[in-house]
Amino acid sequence: MSLPSNNSGAESSRPGFFSDLIAGLMMWDLWRTFAWDEIQQRYRRSILGVLWIIVSYTIFVIGISIFFSIFTRADAIDFLIYVSLGFAAFTFILSNIIDGCQVFISSRIWIISVSLPYSIYVYRSIFRSVFTFILQLIVALIIMIYAGWRPGPMSLMAMPALLLYLINAVAIQFFWGMISARYRDIVHFVGSLTRLLFFITPILWVREELTGIRAQIADINPLTHFIEILRAPLMGVEPRLSSWMIVLCLTAANWLLAFIATHRVRRRLAYWL
């Protein structure tokens, strides 16, 4: 397949935000191939290969659950499930923010060399995070089944949560990718912020056990609500209506920000890279 060279004329005639999304989606075979090649390169010459994703996740979840279970009133196996689901969701969301900051910067050579929809690079990045997320969820579900969990009607509420995860991933990567290409300090700021988010997000501790200012801080954290709409139904608990409302509002805000950032930056992106 021949790829057209990029130039100022091609850059000025790039499609709009939504047209770019559709054009990139139609080229699914290209970004899927790019993503899979990057996954294989990351674990090249490794004996276990991509199984290291499962191994590292399992070791972390079990180790953390054993240590922090003494600080909670929850049953040990319930806390293990709580941590495994929460950490998988947290990792997916955060990886899209972190990778989003680098999605166009890391694709600089391609962007300045060929004229492709920008969404190609976003979909490639999301494919990698989805692949990791699926493997982690498989481990979490195995733990749950071993503990006696069986899917029920409440579990179906996790499906729209997963859909919202994917919808937000596209908007998040577009937004952070565009502004990080212009303002490189954003990359370092996000990297510093993510360390704090891990400790103020209900992964190592149970939100319902908190009171006072700590509970308020947890509820202010958007990741708390994103994780709850997925984890709660899988654990047989109905998520709070407020969490669904907050996630839906944040989804609309993410797409609005992505649209504005792309509209203002896309024609100059190649020059800033």
Predicted local distance difference test score (pLDDT) of residue 2: 43
Q: Where in the sequence is the domain holding 71, given as residue range(s)?
A: 15-272
* pLDDT given for residue 8 in this prediction: 44
Report if residue 222 sits inside a domain: yes
Neighbouring residues of 180: CB distance < 8 A, sequence distance ≥ 6: 100, 101, 102, 104, 105, 186, 187, 190
Contact by Cβ (8 Å): 114, 27: no
pLDDT tens, the chain, 273 aa long: 444 444 444 444 556 788 889 998 899 888 998 888 888 888 777 777 778 888 989 998 989 888 887 777 778 888 889 999 999 999 999 999 999 999 999 888 888 888 888 999 999 999 999 999 999 999 999 988 888 877 778 889 999 999 999 999 999 999 999 999 888 888 888 888 888 888 888 888 888 877 778 788 888 999 999 999 999 999 888 899 999 999 999 999 999 999 998 888 877 887 787
In a domain, 6, yes or no: no
Give me the pLDDT at residue 13, please. Answer: 52
For the chain, the domain total comes to 1
Residue 2 falls within a domain, yes or no? no
Could you tell me which residues are beta bridge partners of residue 114?
5
9 in a structural domain: no
Is position 267 within any domain? yes
Helix 76-102 × helix 119-146 angle, to 10°: 170
pLDDT at 7: 44
Please report whether residue 173 resides in a domain: yes
**Residue 72 covered by a domain:** yes
8 located within any domain: no
pLDDT reported for residue 128 = 92
Q: How far is CA 15 from CA 7, 124, 145, 157, in A?
A: 15, 19, 47, 36
Kindly list the distances between the CA atom of residue 74 and the CA atoms of 150, 263, 267, in Å, as whole numbers in the listed order. 20, 48, 53
Query: HEC states along the chain?
Result: CCCCECCHHHHHCCCCHHHHHHHHHHCHHHHHHHHHHHHHHHCCCCCCCCHHHHHHHHHHHHHHHHHHHHHCCCCHHHHHHHHHHHHHHHHHHHHHHHHHHHCCCCCHHHHHHECCCCHHHHHHHHHHHHHHHHHHHHHHHHHHHHCCCCCCHHHHHHHHHHHHHHHHHHHHHHHHHHHHHHCCHHHHHHHHHHHHHHHHCCCCCCHHHCCHHHHHHHHHCHHHHHHHHHHHHHCCCCCCHHHHHHHHHHHHHHHHHHHHHHHHHCCCHHHHC
Among 65, 67, 60, which residue's Cα sits nearest to residue 83? 65
